[in-house]
Chain A
Amino acid sequence: MNTRKNQRNLTSTQRTRFVEAVLELKRSGRYEKYVRTHAQYFASDGENGLRVAHMAPTFFPWHRQFVLYFERDLQLIDPSVTVPYWDWTVDDKETSALWSADFMGGNGRDSDGQVMTGPFAYSGGRWPITFGVTDEKYLTRNIGRPDRPIKLPTKAELDGALALGTYDTAPWNSAPDTQGFRNRIEGWTVSETKGGYLHNRVHQWVGGHMIGAASPNDPVFWLHHAFIDLIWVRWQRLHPKSGYLPSEALAGDDPESGRVISADEPMPPWNVKPSEMFDHRPYYQYEE
């Protein structure tokens, strides 16, 4: 059984094996497809057409499938590897071992944001950025956004979102009046100065590649989204009678018809139904 662990509990060997598998995926050229897929499926709710990865109820099941495919790709390289999760309510400092030179590497330097330490530093020659928002070839970070400092979400903030008993509400988008767990976690509803809410603020806090459309260029993307996935698991445990919404396809005259995927409609690009992703246990478990 695949067990996803808190990154802080990994042994040094486990850390190294995860890093080496990610680097091998990069070397083989198969990493880039995740960057492309993420950018391609980031549709916004002020536009027409289907939204699947963000600003939509499928935010959780889509990313669950996305991380799972990535994990399976890693396991073709090293079957012992699973994606660890980063609980940013606990490991909330730049001094966390998450950012050490044998794991994710550290912050970007002041001049150009370039990450200079760890296995993903450009100077190591194993992590060239080949597909990004800019032509820069090196990974960038700007931890904590020092020019306008922000903090990672607290446990209290996360608990506040977990307490919401409704998965999602019409019109199933990112507007502040779209109440419910999914939109609160995604985090579109807070002002510019605070830097978004839970999920979005973590992207903001890391900075650099993590705040752009090519965010999976930073391998910490996977650790962040594994925790987002665990948050969904925790919410399901807390609210066993609350399910994914919308449970049925929206009526043809609904303005969101054709723009939002209900429980048993296929999600592109894999044509997996959200309902196939509700229960993580057939695929992996979490060690908490």
Chain B
Amino acid sequence: MSESDAGRNAGRKSARTAVTRRRVITSGVTSAAAVAGTVAALHPLLTAGQPAGPAGAVAVGGPAGSDGSGGDVEVQPALFDEVYRGRRIQGFTDPGEDGVAITVDGEALPVMRRVDGSWISTANHYQPYTTPLATARAAVDVIGRAKLSAAFAQLHHH
């Protein structure tokens, strides 16, 4: 038991590290987004059909280095940040080939890009969605209250 728990915790930690390495999510940005309706403000961006890949990423870099917290990371605004059916779903631009990173209650939901620009996630592996937000919501529709497995996310994401 303790062995598997330890393994799971280690997996979760590194999955989180993998997400964090690519961006810093300041609590200020995300809670402000949740409260101030930034989701709605970003909605046109998400539904307008984002350009494929990192070119579509919103280029916000600066502040990370200036607050002395380390210059090797960049601050990215959340694409969306909302509570959907009791789960906090967040999406971020990502320099990787999928162009987006999604979390559910802070756990990484691995996503993959299809050639037509849509996404599939580990929760919906046989059904693509055209926006990151729809991908995240549909994942919650499927997993309900269950917690995403960090060990699985690690294996899945190449």
Contacts and interface: CB of A to CB of B under 8 A. Distances in A.
**Physical interaction between A and B:** yes
Interface of A: 36, 39-40, 42-49, 55, 112-113, 131-136, 147, 171, 173-176, 187-188, 192, 195-196, 199-200, 203-204, 207, 211-215
B146 A175 contact: no
Most central of A133, A195, A213, A215 by chain B CB within 10 Å: A133
Contacts of B39: none
Interface stretch (B40-48, B60-68, B112-120): B112-120
A47 B112 contact: yes
A71 B100 CA distance: 38
A46 B127 contact: no
Interface residues of B, number: 36
A195 B127 contact: yes
A196 B127 contact: yes
Nearest to A38: B125
Nearest to B148: A134
B142 A211 contact: yes
A112 B148 CA distance: 15
Contact of A46 (B113, B123, B151): B113
Contacts of B82: none
27 contacts: A36-B155, A39-B155, A40-B156, A40-B158, A42-B125, A43-B112, A44-B113, A45-B114, A46-B52, A46-B112, A49-B158, A112-B145, A133-B123, A133-B149, A134-B123, A134-B147, A134-B149, A135-B8, A174-B116, A192-B130, A196-B126, A199-B126, A203-B126, A212-B125, A213-B123, A214-B152, A215-B125
Interface in B119-143: 120, 122-130, 141-143
Contacts of B128: 188, 192
Contacts of B117: 46
A131 B151 contact: yes
Contact of A134 (B110, B124, B125, B143): B143
A132 B149 contact: yes
A39 B129 CA distance: 19
A133 B144 CA distance: 12
Contacts of A132: 149, 152
B81 interface: no
A47 to B, nearest CB: 5
A34 to B, nearest CB: 13
